[in-house]
Amino acid sequence: MINKIALVGGTHGNETSGIQLIHNWQSEGFSDALSSRYSSLDVSLTIANPDALSANVRFVEEDLNRQFTLEALSNASDAKEAKLAKKLNQQFGPKGNSTTDLVIDIHNTTSNMGATLIILEADDFHIQLARFVKHHMPEANILLEDEKPYLEHGYLCTTGKRGVMIEVGAQPQGVLREDVYLLTQTMAEVILDFCQAYNTDSLEQYAECEVFRLGENIKFPLSAEGKRTAMIHHSLQDNDFAPLIPGAPVFRTFDGKDIEWQEAQETYPHFINEAAYHKLDVAFATATRLML
């Protein structure tokens, strides 16, 4: 049974869709309007980092969504978000021995990733969830980040027995777009619908669905002095999850030359030109495509 669910927004303080959804559901009275639809669920609504939200920044001192490894949680760091992570881990976890059945953490991206469900395990539960989401929301993308065991991730959502992320774009930081907000709300509702159906044994058999499995980060070309020498090519920009085939342009140098995809295999770029990865010079992430 998936009974106790934590729905979280504002893990990054300038990603507005989840923040607004939590605020709206708090003020509309989630217990009234949605409790009949989700009668088997006990859903809490949390803004994770109110100080980052007040300052309209991703984080104040450190990225909160990288603080939830078991190692970091046992460190004595004085950084604001490190201390906040310990508090949230008590609230949702404790990680590895959690009292929360599912943590759903809501994010935005400046990349054109549409409504993306990020799962961290490819077990039966998550495969059923992915198929259910894709069936009820065909425009959704499913991203699988299982390059390491569930508990080794530093994500907030791993404080739960299970944890997933909703990642929706393209939306600039600090801006709320109606289209992105509605996709966020729909995906949150569909995940809760799944949990309700799971609890009441009313899941149907759904078709296999397309899943993108995270590969690696690709960096911008840099000069010897560490300055970028190129930008994302216009034919790649905004084409998250579309196949990038060998020989297709990836970057455009500032002196007007194309740099092409040199690998032997096609890949499925995402997080293309994400603002939050600017400092790291990450241009995009690769993925393989599979059916689950």
The residues that touch a second copy, with contacts defined as CB under 8 A, are: 20, 23-24, 28, 56, 110, 170, 172-179, 181, 227-228, 231-234, 237, 252, 254-255, 273-275, 278-279
What is the smallest separation between the CB atom of 11 and a second copy, expressed in angstroms?
A: 18
Residue closer to a second copy (CB basis): 130 or 168: 168
Give the C-alpha distances (Å, rounded to integers) separating 207 from 130, 132, 140: 10, 9, 15
Chain centre to alpha carbon of residue 254: 32
What is the smallest separation between the CB atom of 57 and a second copy, expressed in angstroms?
A: 8
Residue closer to a second copy (CB basis): 120 or 283: 283
User: Which run of H or E residues covers position 253?
Assistant: strand 249-253
What is the smallest separation between the CB atom of 179 and a second copy, expressed in angstroms?
A: 6
Is 234 annotated as belonging to a binding site? no
Query: Out of 152, 167, 204, 260, which one is annotated catalytic?
Result: 167
Cβ contacts of 224 within 8 Å, gap of 6 or more: none
Is 126 annotated as belonging to a binding site? no
Angle between helices 178-199 and 124-136 (to 10 degrees): 130
d(CA 171, CA 183): 12
Active site residue 28: no
Residue closer to a second copy (CB basis): 179 or 263: 179
d(CA 4, CA 140): 25
Q: Which residues are annotated as a binding site for Zn(2+)?
A: 12, 15, 107
Residues at the binding site are 12, 15, 107
Would you name the residues annotated as active-site residues?
167
